[in-house]
């Protein structure tokens, strides 16, 4: 009788583990995270150079939608410039996308803030390309898209971030393919 109860208990425990595993409660093999491919895009920066997914292939980059009149944007830009100067030699770049701006105003803003990374003017095609990665579309600035060296979006960040946070994001992205 004791042996029968012991075997029944084992069968119940094994059956419960099997049901839990098939229901997704227990997983012996961790599932890899699959990030979406970043959209293809092409633009000309305000310094006249082509910038887009073709030129950035194999590199880590952050596409940052911003405006010169946006207080949180203005706060994070000096940190982004410092990080661009630090990580640019390692193949990283920010791409600034100026929204709701005039070109002369942004050129002045770039000069005053010593922005060293490419800045492009937002257009409907560029905004649409990234809109699908944010629920309801890009509705706040700054909004940043972190793209790894495999061309996949690993993070979408709405709102300003500190230098320390961006530093960690960039360092992590440069370590991971």
- pLDDT tens for 3-51 read 433 333 343 433 433 434 444 444 455 555 668 999 999 999 999 999 9
Domains of the chain, start order: 1-31 (no CATH), 42-175 (3.40.30.10)
Q: Dump pLDDT digits (tens) for 90-139.
A: 999 999 999 999 999 999 999 999 999 999 999 999 999 999 999 889 99
Which residues fall within 8 angstroms of residue 94, CB to CB, at 6 or more apart?
61, 62, 63, 64, 80, 83, 84, 117, 118
Query: Hey, which residues does 66 pair with through a beta bridge?
Result: 98
pTM of the model: 0.81
């Amino acid at each position: 009788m004791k042996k029968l109860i012991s075997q029944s208990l084992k069968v119940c425990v094994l059956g419960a583990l099997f049901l839990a595993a098939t229901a997704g409660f227990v997983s012996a093999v961790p599932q890899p995270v699959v990030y979406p491919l970043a959209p293809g895009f092409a633009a000309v920066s305000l310094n006249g150079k082509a910038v887009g997914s073709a030129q950035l292939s194999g590199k880590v980059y952050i596409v940052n939608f911003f405006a010169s009149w946006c207080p949180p944007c203005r706060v994070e830009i000096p940190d982004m410039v410092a990080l661009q100067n630090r990580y640019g030699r390692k193949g990283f770049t920010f791409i600034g996308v100026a929204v709701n701006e005039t070109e002369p105003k942004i050129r002045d803003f770039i000069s005053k803030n010593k922005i060293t990374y490419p800045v492009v003017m937002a257009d409907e095609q560029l905004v649409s390309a990234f809109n699908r990665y944010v629920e309801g579309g890009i509705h706040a600035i700054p909004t940043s898209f972190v793209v790894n060296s495999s061309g996949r979006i690993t993070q979408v960040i709405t709102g300003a971030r500190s230098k320390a946070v961006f530093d960690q994001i960039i360092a992590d992205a440069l370590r991971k393919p």
